[in-house]
Chains A and B, each alone.
Chain A
Amino acid sequence: MKRREFLVVGGAMAASMALPARAAYPEKPVRMIIAFAPGGESDIGARQQQIVFRRLFGQEMVIESKAGAGGALAWSTLNTYPGDGYTVMGTNLPHIVLQPLEGNVQYKTEDVTNVHFYQYTPDAIIVRAESPLKTYADLVKASKEGQDKVTFAGSGTNSANHVAHTRLNRLMGTKTTYVPFKGTGDLVSSVLGGHVTAAMSYNTLALTQKGKMRMLAVASEKRLAAFPDVPTFKELGGDWVDGAYRGVGVPKSTPEDLRKRISDIFSEINRDPEFRQKMADGGFELIDVTYDRMPAFMAERTKAYLEIARMMGLAK
Chain B
Amino acid sequence: MELLANLQLGFGVALAGTNILYCFIGVLLGTLIGVLPGIGPVATIAMLLPATFVLPPVSALIMLAGIYYGASYGGSTTAILVNLPGEVSSVVTCLDGYQMARNGHAGKALAIAAIGSFFAGTVATLLVAAFAPPLAELALKFGPADYFSLMVLGLIAAVVLAHGSLIKAVAMIVLGLLVGLIGTDVNSGVARYSFGLPELIDGVGIGPIAMGIFGFGEIIRNLEHGQKRDVFVKKVTGLMPTWQDLKVSALPIVRGTTLGSALGILPGGGPILGSFSAYTLEKKLAKDPSRFGKGAIEGVAAPESANNAAAQTSFIPLLTLGIPSNPVMALMIGAMIIHGIQPGPQIMTAKPDLFWGMIASMWVGNLLLVVLNLPMIGMWVKLLTLEYRFLYPAILIFCCIGVYSINNTWMDVILAAGFGFIGYLFGKLDCEAAPLLLGFVLGPMMEENLRRALLLSRGDPAVFVTRPISATLLVLAVLLLVIVAAPAVRKKREETFVEEE
B-contacting residues of A (Cβ < 8 Å)? 37-40, 43-44, 47-48, 50-51, 63-70, 72-73, 76, 102, 104-106, 148-149, 151, 156-158, 177, 179-182, 185-186, 188-190, 192-193, 195-196, 207-212, 278, 281-282
Contact = CB atoms under 8 A, between A and B. Distances in A.
Interface string B333-374: 111011010111110000000000000000000000000000
B345 A212 contact: yes
Given A39-B335, A68-B199, 6 more contacts: A39-B331, A149-B458, A157-B185, A189-B267, A210-B346, A212-B344
B201 A195 contact: no
Given A37-B330, A188-B322, A211 B346 contact: yes
13 contacts: A39-B332, A40-B334, A47-B334, A68-B202, A73-B409, A104-B190, A185-B324, A192-B321, A193-B141, A208-B343, A208-B344, A278-B340, A281-B342
B198 A69 contact: yes
B226 interface: no
B327 interface: yes
Contact of B143 (A158, A193, A278, A282): A193
A181 B198 contact: no
A279 B144 CA distance: 34
Given A43-B334, A179-B452, A73 B186 contact: no
B186 A180 contact: yes
A158 B185 CA distance: 12
A73 B323 contact: no
B145 to A, nearest CB: 9
Given A76-B198, A180-B186, A195 B143 contact: yes
B18 to A, nearest CB: 22
Contact of B456 (A48, A157, A196): A196
A188 B333 CA distance: 14
Contacts of B286: none
A112 to B, nearest CB: 15
A305 B456 CA distance: 27
B187 A73 contact: no
B195 to A, nearest CB: 12
Contacts, number: 139
Nearest to B141: A193
A181 B407 CA distance: 21
B448 A73 contact: no
Given A157-B189, A210-B346, A177 B455 contact: yes
Given A69-B184, A69-B198, A157-B188, A210 B53 contact: no
Contact of A64 (B42, B188, B332, B408): B408
Contacts of A68: 198-199, 201-202, 407, 409
B334 A39 contact: yes
Residue in B53, B190, B201 whose Cβ sees the most chain A Cβ within 10 Å? B201
A186 B199 contact: no
A283 B45 CA distance: 24
A210 B455 CA distance: 28
B317 interface: yes
A51 B340 CA distance: 14
A101 B279 CA distance: 47
Interface in B143-158: 143-144
A182 B189 contact: no
A72 B323 contact: no
Nearest to A278: B340
A105 B198 contact: yes
B341 to A, nearest CB: 10
B140 interface: yes
Contacts of A38: 42, 45-46, 49, 331, 334
A111 B344 CA distance: 39
Residue in A149, A151, A190 whose Cβ sees the most chain B Cβ within 10 Å? A190
A210 B317 contact: no
A72 B201 contact: yes
B227 to A, nearest CB: 41
A39 B323 CA distance: 13
B139 interface: yes
Contacts of A188: 321-323
B191 interface: yes
Given A39-B330, A47-B50, A189 B456 contact: no
B142 interface: yes
A246 to B, nearest CB: 15
Given A72-B198, A181-B186, A193-B140, A44 B455 contact: no
Contacts of B188: 157
A190 B144 CA distance: 8
Contacts of A189: 139-140, 142, 267, 317, 321, 323
A76 B197 CA distance: 12
